[in-house]
Structure 1
Amino acid sequence: MKTNLLRCILSKLSIERVFAISLVILEQLATMFFIMLFGFMLVRIKILDMVGSQQIANMTTKFVIPIVLMMSFQQPYDPAQLSLLLFTFIGALLLMISRIISARLLMRKGTKIDQFAVVFSNTAFVGIPIIFPLLGYQGIFYLSMYIVVSSVLQFTYGIWILSEGKQAMTIRQAFLNPASIGAFIGFVLYMLQIELPNVLYNGLDKIADTSSPLGMILLGGYLARSRLKEIFMVKNNYWTVMVRLLITPLIGLVIIWLLPIQNQSVLLVLSIANCTPTAVNTALFSQLYGGDYEYGARLVVLASLLAMVTMPIMITLSNLLLSIN
């Protein structure tokens, strides 16, 4: 029985084991930060304007990320792996529900954008480039369930929040969004064990590799267009970001700990997805559904920068609590 938490942590303490994954993640975050600076530079020297950024965002969201999810299912069928996928789906759903409840309770004085920023994280743009080098497509295979759950809720509950109930939640929005379609196509190919021809596989694989750089270039563009004073000098920004990066991940970590999951890859995927920063769609959806686009962008930038500190801490804590090797 999971009773003595401190004893459980200390008995499994291994400095080498605890920090190995965290150091890899920190290195990935640093790499992503430099790509973000490249996006920052492109905007500042007027190579990339707002129209170009919107086109990149649409291309990445509607095509590149769905391709990444589809490609993650290109592997031999394994019944045990399928059951783990189900557990990942359940874990992702519980994490999202806990965030919705936390946002309702902790952000009562915040805006609709604050609630969206707390509930939805940048799992695709930040999670994929961290998980892929660690676990390959197998890790993305499990992460796909988290991205699908998040996407379904973004295109339903998220839009409903930002539009203040003016946009109804529909089945079409839930299952015909790009992430759901990409994962569904991949799942069908997986169940039927249809392997893509080498030329097609290699081409799509190269396209999938662009998901991380494109996402970071977008974030760099948001940073370049933001007023630094309004990002770092507004107290309310920090409360929203603290709830997103520290409070909800701690609650989520307890949920992951209580789940009957022993598989190391699934635990690592859920742990990383649990502490990723605020979703880029906080800015994009705010612009589309009547919110304060600039405020949403400031939250995305601040959370993304501070995540370079909080994510290694949260992953180290996850390694200790969950005994991830």
Structure 2
Amino acid sequence: MLLTLLNIIIPVFAVTGLGYLFARKRSKAPEMDFINSVNVHLFCPMLIFSALLANPVDLASDWALVVAGVAIILLPGLLLWFVRPAAVNSSAFLMTGMFRNTGNMGIPLLMLAYGKEALGDIIVLFVISNTLHFSVGIWLISRSRGAWGWLRNPNVWAAVLGITLAPVREQIPLFIQTTVDMLGQVSIPLMLFSLGVRMASGRISQLGLALRINLLYLVAGLLSVTLILLVLPLSPLWVKMLVVTAALPPAVLNYLLSEQYQADTDTVASVVLLGNLLAVVVMPLVIALTLTW
């Protein structure tokens, strides 16, 4: 099992580490804005479309996964409301605890852990998180301004298109499918590399507070999974995916949104950076646990 775990973990953190080292070796911080924009608006939508085309999702039979995907985001927010620290902006605290790094870290970890045959389900969880982040998340942090930003999110429309065209996949010319596949394959390593670059430019202040908040997030996430399992009929694979998702560190996008809306930016930056550093220890343990089931 150790070799299996290493085969899952090492590629993810190796690419992230290369991004970190690349940024640290530069006298000037690399300009990643354009690359990240291309990834978000082109490569990632192509990955979503390609994955859903190759791994059709039946929303009628997979309704429990969809509901669980929504619940694993909203439930932690409800639980965290009762333990929010007085010293931290409540909206920033809740948003950062609800939305995890399902893109940069979640997709590659889940795919390596459970195989490409699970990619369709993995993408469903990612699209749900992404859509809610650009709707509920922005609503939380902006106090209702810009809550309809998800309509401009290409990842949402790529998912809609992929689910719609999956039944007629054989009629789509092979050269189109190959082109889409090639573009989509760029997304995951670029996500990881970009995460490493972003971590190299961050700093942690209020270490004790950031550590406590990350522990609260982890407990709230795993408790939410327990509550979901009491209600929904989930397959063993879906349960494993939810547990890993609940243990993921906060998404880097939380920091960008807190900066945009001026909501406790320093604290959010510290929590996000520390959470992603702690993932080097937390995620191998969680994945090792799920591999024993």
Match of 1:63 in 2: 42
Deviation at 1:92, TM superposition (A): 0.8
Q: Where in structure 2 are the equivalents of 1:200-219 lying within 5 Å? A: 200-219=176-195
Match of 2:251 in 1: 279
Match of 1:179 in 2: 155
Secondary structure at the counterpart of residue 250 of structure 2: coil
Contact 1:76–1:193 under 8 Å retained in 2: no
Aligned partner letter, 2:208: K
Match of 2:13 in 1: 33
Q: Which moved more, 1:89-98 or 1:304-313?
A: 304-313
Q: Which moved more, 1:39-48 or 1:306-315?
A: 39-48
- In structure 2, which of residues 36, 47, 62 is the aligned counterpart of residue 85 of structure 1? 62
Q: For the structure 1 residues 77 and 181, does the alpha-carbon distance in structure 2 shift closer, same or farther, using more than 3 Å as the test?
A: closer
So what's the TM-score if we normalise by structure 1? Answer: 0.78
State yes or no: 1:269 paired with 2:241. Answer: yes
Q: For the structure 1 residues 45 and 275, does the alpha-carbon distance in structure 2 shift closer, same or farther, using more than 3 Å as the test?
A: same
Contact 2:64–2:234 under 8 Å retained in 1: no
Q: For the structure 1 residues 281 and 23, does the alpha-carbon distance in structure 2 shift closer, same or farther, using more than 3 Å as the test?
A: farther
- In structure 1, which of residues 247, 257, 275 is the aligned counterpart of residue 219 of structure 2? 247
Contact 1:95–1:252 under 8 Å retained in 2: yes
Q: For the structure 1 residues 94 and 166, does the alpha-carbon distance in structure 2 shift closer, same or farther, using more than 3 Å as the test?
A: closer
- In structure 2, which of residues 265, 270, 273 is the aligned counterpart of residue 298 of structure 1? 270
CA distance in 1, matches of 2:181, 2:167: 20
Q: Mark the runs of 5 or more structure 2 residues left unpaired by the alignment.
A: none
CA distance in 1, matches of 2:55, 2:121: 14
Q: For the structure 1 residues 120 and 25, does the alpha-carbon distance in structure 2 shift closer, same or farther, using more than 3 Å as the test?
A: farther
Deviation at 1:47, TM superposition (A): 7.7
Match of 1:169 in 2: 147
Match of 2:208 in 1: 235
Deviation at 1:26, TM superposition (A): 5.0
Deviation at 1:297, TM superposition (A): 3.3
- In structure 1, which of residues 288, 309, 312 is the aligned counterpart of residue 281 of structure 2? 309
Match of 1:8 in 2: none
Contact 2:29–2:201 under 8 Å retained in 1: no
CA distance in 2, matches of 1:314, 1:77: 28
Contact 1:219–1:301 under 8 Å retained in 2: no
Deviation at 1:292, TM superposition (A): 4.8
Q: For the structure 1 residues 106 and 319, does the alpha-carbon distance in structure 2 shift closer, same or farther, using more than 3 Å as the test?
A: farther
Q: Which moved more, 1:137-146 or 1:274-283?
A: 137-146
Deviation at 1:202, TM superposition (A): 2.5
- In structure 1, which of residues 18, 22, 45 is the aligned counterpart of residue 25 of structure 2? 45
Contact 1:99–1:248 under 8 Å retained in 2: yes
Query: How high is the sequence identity, in percent, across the aligned residues?
Result: 21
CA RMSD in angstroms, aligned pairs only:
2.7
Deviation at 1:136, TM superposition (A): 4.2
Q: Mark the runs of 5 or more structure 1 residues left unpaired by the alignment.
A: 1-19
Q: Which moved more, 1:176-185 or 1:204-213?
A: 204-213
